[in-house]
């Protein structure tokens, strides 16, 4: 399928990049969102090329200082200023944003189309969001974007280990934050206080449990109940105490523990059976959550069983 949003190679080409890894989600019904990492440690001095003109924004978290950045909009330089690592910058693709590339750079870019903002306002029962508030070349200290950016950067570097539910959840949170912080969207005042119906919880959990690898998207599951993704995610968390991607992680760990308890399988085989990308992924996640490595947990559990007998 032809890529239409400004992410991946469509974002990388104007920045003279051969590679621009991306994660993509359809966590809102009519919108495709994405996050892309851009990095060049040895650039050739030039004005960046034009991005495709769309009714959409790029929100960038800078990962490296960029002194004396010359920012352009609509064919002219609008500001020359120092770009700070850790700051968040907004770009309106309708304004033909560009900058002079003459120093190494490293950033993550979130692609946020107008349709995503419209969906967010509709789900909140709020008026349509106007233009996002920002000044060209002026950064924001935004801890929410910093946190989301760091989490998604780690996912970009380990895409084979990243499940779609996690990406959907993070990008949904990102869209809601940008809509509120820069678009003036009011917090939902009539948010559903209840969770899913018992039959819905049962069915949703069965769907998640049937795909421990996490290939199902939030949109696919929510659509089965004719719910928006944000409504489904909120109601699922109320009903189970966890967002879907964290519930799935607990099921993976539960499955792995069962396999280690009842069968003498290699850890690599257990990792794949429980939905992890590989043994390294399994060991890292298991150790972080449980506090010991899978091998140590199995030895301790088997030793305890022998002592009881």
User: Tens of pLDDT along 213-263?
Assistant: 878 888 889 888 888 888 888 899 999 999 998 999 999 999 999 999 876
State pTM to two decimals.
Answer: 0.84
Percent of the chain with pLDDT over 90: 67
* pLDDT for 42: 93
The fold of the 9-181 domain, in CATH, is: Jelly Rolls (2.60.120)
When pLDDT is averaged across residues 269-278 and rounded to a whole number, the result is: 90
Q: Give the contacts of 109 (CB within 8 A, at least 6 positions apart).
A: 7, 11, 35, 36, 38, 58, 59, 60
pLDDT given at position 306: 65
Tell me the torsion sign for CA atoms 62, 21, 230, 239.
negative
pLDDT at 89: 97
The predicted-structure confidence for 44-100, as pLDDT tens digits, reads as follows: 899 999 999 999 999 999 999 999 999 999 999 999 999 999 999 999 999 999 999
pLDDT digits (tens, 9 = 90+) for 8-34: 999 999 999 989 999 999 866 667 899
Q: CB atoms < 10 A from the CB of 136, how many?
A: 19
What pLDDT, on a 0 to 100 scale, did the predictor assign at position 189?
Answer: 47
Tell me the per-residue pLDDT of 141-172, one tens digit each, with 9 for 90 and over. 999 999 999 999 999 999 988 889 999 999 99
User: Which CATH class name applies to 258-308?
Assistant: mainly alpha
**Given pLDDT bands bounded at 50, 70 and 90, which one contains residue 309?**
low
| pLDDT tens for each residue of 171-204 | 999 999 999 999 998 765 455 567 889 999 999 9
Q: Helix or strand or coil: residue 217?
A: coil
Edge-to-edge strand ranges of the sheet holding 98-101:
46-47, 98-101, 66-73, 76-83
Task: Give the per-residue pLDDT at 2.
Answer: 41
Domain ranges of the chain: 9-181, 198-241, 258-308
Q: Is 245 left (phi over 0), alpha (psi -120 to 50) or beta?
A: alpha
Q: Give residues with Cβ within 8 angstroms of 121, minimum separation 6.
A: 127, 128, 129, 179, 185
Q: Tell me the per-residue pLDDT of 85-98, one tens digit each, with 9 for 90 and over.
A: 999 999 999 999 99
Q: Output the CA angle 166-168-169, nearest 5 degrees.
A: 65
**Is residue 284 predicted with pLDDT exceeding 70?**
yes
């Amino acid at each position: 399928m032809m890529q239409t949003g400004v992410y991946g190679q469509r974002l990388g080409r104007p920045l003279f990049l051969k590679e621009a890894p991306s994660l993509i989600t359809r966590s809102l019904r009519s919108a495709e969102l994405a996050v892309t990492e851009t990095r060049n440690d040895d650039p050739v001095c030039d004005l960046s090329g034009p991005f495709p003109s769309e009714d959409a924004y790029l929100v960038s978290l800078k990962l490296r200082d960029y002194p004396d950045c010359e920012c352009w909009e609509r064919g002219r330089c609008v500001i020359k200023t120092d770009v700070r690592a850790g700051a968040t910058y907004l770009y309106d693709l309708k304004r033909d944003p560009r900058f002079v590339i003459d120093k190494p750079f490293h950033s993550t870019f979130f692609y946020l189309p107008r349709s995503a903002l419209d969906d967010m306002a509709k789900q909140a029962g709020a008026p349509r969001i106007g233009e996002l508030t920002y000044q060209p070349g002026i950064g924001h200290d935004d801890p929410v974007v910093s946190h989301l950016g760091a989490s998604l950067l780690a996912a970009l570097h380990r895409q084979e280990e990243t499940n779609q539910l996690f990406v959907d959840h993070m990008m949904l949170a990102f869209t809601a934050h940008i809509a509120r912080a820069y678009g003036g969207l009011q917090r939902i005042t009539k948010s559903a206080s209840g969770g899913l119906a018992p039959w819905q919880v049962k069915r949703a959990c069965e769907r998640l449990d049937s795909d421990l690898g996490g290939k199902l998207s939030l949109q696919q599951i929510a659509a089965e109940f004719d719910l928006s993704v944000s409504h489904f995610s909120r109601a699922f968390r109320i009903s189970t105490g966890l967002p879907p991607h964290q519930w799935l992680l607990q099921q993976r760990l539960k499955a792995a523990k069962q396999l280690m308890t009842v069968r003498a399988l290699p850890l690599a085989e257990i990792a794949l059976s429980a939905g992890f990308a590989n043994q390294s992924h399994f060991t890292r996640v298991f150790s972080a959550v449980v506090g010991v490595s899978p091998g140590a947990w199995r030895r301790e559990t088997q030793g305890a069983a022998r002592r009881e007998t």
